[in-house]
Structure 1
Amino acid sequence: MTDLDAPGGDASPVDDDPRVGGFDLGEVPSARSIRRFTAQAARARAGASIGSLLTDLYSVVTSIAISVLIVLGVVQQLRDSLPPAPPVQEPGGLSLPMLGAFLLLAAAGALLSTAGSLGPVGTEGAQSAWWLPLPVDRRGLLRPAAARLPLVAALAGGAVVVVLEAGLLGRGGADLVRAGLLGAVTAAGVVLIAALAQSLGATRRRIALAGDAVLVAAPVLAGVVVLAGRTPATLPSPAWPVVLAAAVLAAVLAVQLDRRLGDLPGRTLREGGSVAAQAVGAVVSLDSRELGRALSGGAVAATRRRVSRLRTARGPATALVTADLVVLRRSLRHLVQLVVAAGLPLLATVVPQLASPVGVLVAVLLGGWMASSASAEGARWAEMAPILDRLLPLGDRTVRRLRMVVPGVVMLVWSLVAFAAVGRWAGATPDWLVLAVVSAPVWAAAAVRAAYRPAPRWDKPLIATPAGALPTGVLQVIARGPDLVALCLLPLWIAIGLTTVSTIMVTSQLLLSVVAVMIASSTAEKGWMERMLEEQDQRKGASS
């Protein structure tokens, strides 16, 4: 580079010139002022007043409070309907407080996995393009992003612990306050650990794998406790020193994270912000499939050391089934979900207060839907990008039926494990295994039907709800899949309620399984009633 002529005829280096491109440089603004300027510009173009902001905030707080109270009331009613706890825990059983502790451990693992998949600290696309290249302290730019997810986790964790403590264990007063505070601080600490690991160079995949390991450890530890013999009937309430120690530890983690915010590379911030934006968009659009894809992306390895030969692909049909199997095998998050789903009915049958028709029914319903949803990952990806479906010489109905093969096999294994425990609880285990075999196709059909459900029609008239404006017919879209579980598994629900299996139940379940497969094989996006009404309107228009 050449020197520029300075005033007075003396040459001075470019670095000493206070001008760049002929413009005078002023003082570089601070990161806080840049954040304020961005927020003011966004508010100026949003067209929203402070009154509308306060109204939205009031609606959100009211909706959350009402939801927590409703859930708390339902849980308390369930607790009142449960039988009283035995004074001495029988060998081979699990107390309700211990079950709550293992549920909280599983929730902590799920939170760590979710935080790792999202990337606790990230910036959106526009912020990454403008903020990151600026010659300012990056810590000041990233502090709001670093504090957002821990605060949300703290609110959610406190609410979950309060519901469990007050609903299942019946605690209140100071015990409930301490438990809620400990839950909030612990949840925030889990997210801060994930963010600190991110700042130390850990990938999102490794953080998600650590959370999945904790999630799997919860049912494994519960099984070990059951096999060990007697378990304590009650657990002590957390004391104030424990709550304060957890708060101090969370504060130390927050300080350490704040010091290392400047070390986060731009690529990591952009990836985390992109995944978080994808997840938020999926939640706003009520698309659980897109949310699952966003959470699964962080746990997928970028490269693989082993190449599969795909020897089972012998033709179009086997190629489609093999593709679904490979997708499931490579999705570690869904494999973990299958393990946890298999443990729910097992735990429900060994907890004396849950070993009732209602408790076992709820456990089978939750575990079955978790397992079937995890097994249909290939169908969900095919709904978004139907490349293989279009390339193979297969009809649409045939493709839908082939997509049920892998979920059907997985749900057959899950049903045998789950209903072996149910048979041990209710008696006549062989009869329950037969019912498990004939009911497995319903779970697979429901999972595929949910994977191929259409998106909500946002061009239809909107309905005002406490959760915001929703399009008409959105409940019908969300119910596609669960409706088969509710209707076509009716003999199974009756059998669990009566704690017995009869021939008529098995026969009815077999017929309903065939019906479920036929319904899930249909490619019609609209329901039968809606299609009938449209045909009726068309006939009236043609006659007139």
Structure 2
Amino acid sequence: MSSGVREPDDMDLGTDTDTDVDGAADGDHDDHDDPRVGDFELGEVPSASSIRRFTARAARSRAGASVGSLLTDVYTAVTSVVISVLIVLGVVQQLGEALPPAPPVHAPGGLSLPALVAVLLLAGVGALLSTAGRLGPVGAEGPQAAWWLPLPVDRRGLLRPAAARGPLVAALAGGAVVVVLDAGLLASGGGALVRSGLLGALVAAVVVLLAAVAQSRGVPRRRTAVVGDLVLVAAPVVALVLVLTRRTPASLPAPSWVAVAGAAVVAGLLAALVDARLGALPGRTLREGGSAATQAVGAVVSLDSRELGRALTGGAAASSHRRVSRLRTARGPATALVTADLVVLRRSLRHVVQLVVAAGLPVLATVVPQLASTVGVLVAVLVGGWMAASASAEGARWAEMAPVVDRLLPLEARTVRRLRMVVPGIAVLLWTVVALGAVGVWAGAPVDWVLLGLAAVPVWAAAAVRAAYRPAPSWDKPLVATPAGALPTGVLQVVARGPDLIAFCLLPLWIAIGLHTVTTVMVTAQVALSAIAVTIASSVHDKGWLERMMEEQDERKKAGA
């Protein structure tokens, strides 16, 4: 019975084999190898640029979007970025005009505004280097790593767009930041502002290119990130040294075209070096960098700060630890949960650095004469406190994604969330002693301010845990078109979970900063509001109380009908 598939003919196989064997035995075999592999001829290997063009053309053909829609999206994104930069520049310029003039002789322990700008730029360089080390900076996304890297073509041509993307984005961001700081706080303009912006863009590109050179040399991404973290920590240390030595500069030197040209030459040389070594990048490093960058971009587009933090932390996490902790503080379920959060915080250098920087913000605001005002101190305390609380709640954020420990321990869900507030509370407690101690020196009566800060510690911890356990946005709701893409209508309510406690339950602290005084009524009210904040953050409901009440009323109406 015929199966429809032709089997090899024994006679044909025997004839071919005998011919080959006899020819080889008689010495009649041709010395030249057959230029064929099986029944296929080897053609010319395509170039890397042609492969990239083919992939892009295939993606466009399947995207279903026209050139007009693409240009519209690009126009909307560029316009949004320009408008955002102009708005920020206008706000900073108004702030600079509203700041009091610098005193002719700085007070003991004071810090000038130009010195503060230099410290901020140094911190920005450290943050940029740390971010570049955690995200690659050169990487290949999942589809690219799966289809491009195994191809027998020059890898340099495949990776050039990815290698150029990081320095270009860093240059745009660095130039914008320098222009905003220079024009807003230092009141620069004209040619000096143009030179500052160009120099800032080139320095930012150089920082990312240095991280790419380190990656091509086989330096682990974790080591590059650690160097950036150390530079970031050096910023408040430099500020402290300037305050103690009283050698704060009265102005910053204006950049010259020679400095701009020198930075451009350095950037060009580094770019050429990176391009020459793209082929030496191992596939594993490219896959890891592309995966971390893709995760970070997705988190930014979806406005998920938790996923962004996981991308930055996991991008440079150590695969193994040399020192083994005995976990002596774990004596039961409750202490085991707190110990796990402490270990997570201790092993995350990025969050430890964030705690140090957060403690330095209120201190800097109180020692800079132009910023030592109600608004400046209020903003510094708000930003610094949220940074400290958020940095110490990494364990709660990981538990929200993978609640392994939460479900293994015999603890109630409310109890678990209260225990998650212990580590943020300890971190914010240390931050309070430094930050509100400096605010107390600025406003008088440091002991009273520290007592008010201690009463507010539970609010910071509750807000951090509430933000860590917030639900994901509901994408089944109507979407709103934004420059960052389509977002659900209730995304702002989700993002506000956590900061809402800081806005309402820390009213006594904000009033005290506005009035420059602390009273017994403020401390008592703060204790009551702290208890309310802990109760709210301990709730396991994804929806708010008002929303649940409205849903119950709707269900009752439906049942009655």
Distance in 2 (alpha carbons) for counterparts of 1:137 and 1:223: 50
**Pairing partner for 1:301 from 307, 318, 324:** 318
Structure 1 contact 299–333 (Cα < 8 Å) conserved? no
Match of 1:356?
A: 373
Match of 2:14?
A: none
**Pairing partner for 1:478 from 495, 505, 528:** 495
Deviations 1:353-390 (A, max 9, x none): 00111101100111111110000000000000001100
Question: Residues 18 and 504 from structure 1, CA distance in 2 versus in 1: closer, same or farther, beyond 3 angstroms?
Answer: same
Q: How does 1:331-346 map to 2 (within 5 A)?
A: 331-346=348-363
Match of 2:60?
A: 43
Deviations 1:191-217 (A, max 9, x none): 000000000010010000010010000
Match of 1:126?
A: 143
Which deviates more from structure 2 when the two are superposed, residues 375-384 or residues 159-168?
159-168
Q: How does 1:128-277 map to 2 (within 5 A)?
A: 128-277=145-294
Amino acid at match of 1:282: A
Distance in 2 (alpha carbons) for counterparts of 1:17 and 1:184: 56
Question: Residues 188 and 4 from structure 1, CA distance in 2 versus in 1: closer, same or farther, beyond 3 angstroms?
Answer: farther
**Pairing partner for 1:496 from 513, 516, 521:** 513
**Pairing partner for 2:410 from 389, 393, 404:** 393
Equivalent position SS for 2:525: helix
Structure 1 contact 112–194 (Cα < 8 Å) conserved? yes
Equivalent position SS for 1:171: coil
Q: Does 1:381 align with 2:381?
A: no
Which deviates more from structure 2 when the two are superposed, residues 131-140 or residues 376-385?
131-140
Equivalent position SS for 1:464: strand
Q: Does 1:287 align with 2:323?
A: no
Structure 1 contact 91–230 (Cα < 8 Å) conserved? no
Superposition deviation, residue 466 in structure 1: 4.0
Superposition deviation, residue 233 in structure 1: 1.7
Structure 2 contact 288–315 (Cα < 8 Å) conserved? no
Amino acid at match of 2:250: A
Match of 2:134?
A: 117
Distance in 1 (alpha carbons) for counterparts of 2:284 and 2:70: 33
Equivalent position SS for 1:89: coil
Superposition deviation, residue 4 in structure 1: 10
Question: Residues 18 and 503 from structure 1, CA distance in 2 versus in 1: closer, same or farther, beyond 3 angstroms?
Answer: same
Structure 1 contact 87–233 (Cα < 8 Å) conserved? no
Distance in 1 (alpha carbons) for counterparts of 2:125 and 2:18: 61
Distance in 1 (alpha carbons) for counterparts of 2:405 and 2:314: 20
Greater Rg, structure 1 or structure 2?
A: 2
Match of 1:95?
A: 112
Amino acid at match of 2:151: L
Superposition deviation, residue 113 in structure 1: 0.3
Q: Does 1:419 align with 2:429?
A: no
Match of 2:544?
A: 527
Amino acid at match of 2:479: L
Amino acid at match of 1:190: V
Q: How does 1:294-333 map to 2 (within 5 A)?
A: 294-333=311-350
Question: Residues 19 and 532 from structure 1, CA distance in 2 versus in 1: closer, same or farther, beyond 3 angstroms?
Answer: same
Amino acid at match of 2:408: L
Equivalent position SS for 1:91: coil
Deviations 1:497-541 (A, max 9, x none): 111000110001110000000000001111122112111111111
Q: Does 1:451 align with 2:474?
A: no
**Pairing partner for 1:512 from 529, 534, 538:** 529
Distance in 1 (alpha carbons) for counterparts of 2:503 and 2:266: 46
Distance in 1 (alpha carbons) for counterparts of 2:177 and 2:143: 34
Structure 1 gap segments, 5+ residues each: none
Equivalent position SS for 2:149: coil
Q: Does 1:464 align with 2:490?
A: no
Question: Residues 18 and 454 from structure 1, CA distance in 2 versus in 1: closer, same or farther, beyond 3 angstroms?
Answer: same
Match of 2:95?
A: 78
Amino acid at match of 2:350: R
Structure 2 gap segments, 5+ residues each: 1-16
Distance in 1 (alpha carbons) for counterparts of 2:483 and 2:279: 40
Question: Residues 161 and 12 from structure 1, CA distance in 2 versus in 1: closer, same or farther, beyond 3 angstroms?
Answer: farther
Distance in 1 (alpha carbons) for counterparts of 2:20 and 2:205: 58
Equivalent position SS for 2:481: strand
Amino acid at match of 1:291: L
Amino acid at match of 1:507: T
Which deviates more from structure 2 when the two are superposed, residues 16-25 or residues 46-55?
16-25
Structure 1 contact 72–166 (Cα < 8 Å) conserved? yes
Structure 2 contact 301–485 (Cα < 8 Å) conserved? no
Structure 1 contact 369–443 (Cα < 8 Å) conserved? yes
Structure 1 contact 92–230 (Cα < 8 Å) conserved? no
Superposition deviation, residue 12 in structure 1: 5.1
Distance in 2 (alpha carbons) for counterparts of 1:139 and 1:464: 37
Distance in 1 (alpha carbons) for counterparts of 2:164 and 2:345: 34
Match of 2:39?
A: 22
Question: Residues 173 and 316 from structure 1, CA distance in 2 versus in 1: closer, same or farther, beyond 3 angstroms?
Answer: same
Question: Residues 204 and 109 from structure 1, CA distance in 2 versus in 1: closer, same or farther, beyond 3 angstroms?
Answer: same
Superposition deviation, residue 19 in structure 1: 2.1
TM-score, normalising length: structure 1: 0.97
Superposition deviation, residue 284 in structure 1: 1.9
Equivalent position SS for 2:486: strand
Deviations 1:321-343 (A, max 9, x none): 00001000111100000001000
Distance in 1 (alpha carbons) for counterparts of 2:339 and 2:396: 12
Cα RMSD of the aligned pairs, angstroms, is: 1.7
Match of 1:430?
A: 447
Percent identical across equivalent pairs?
76
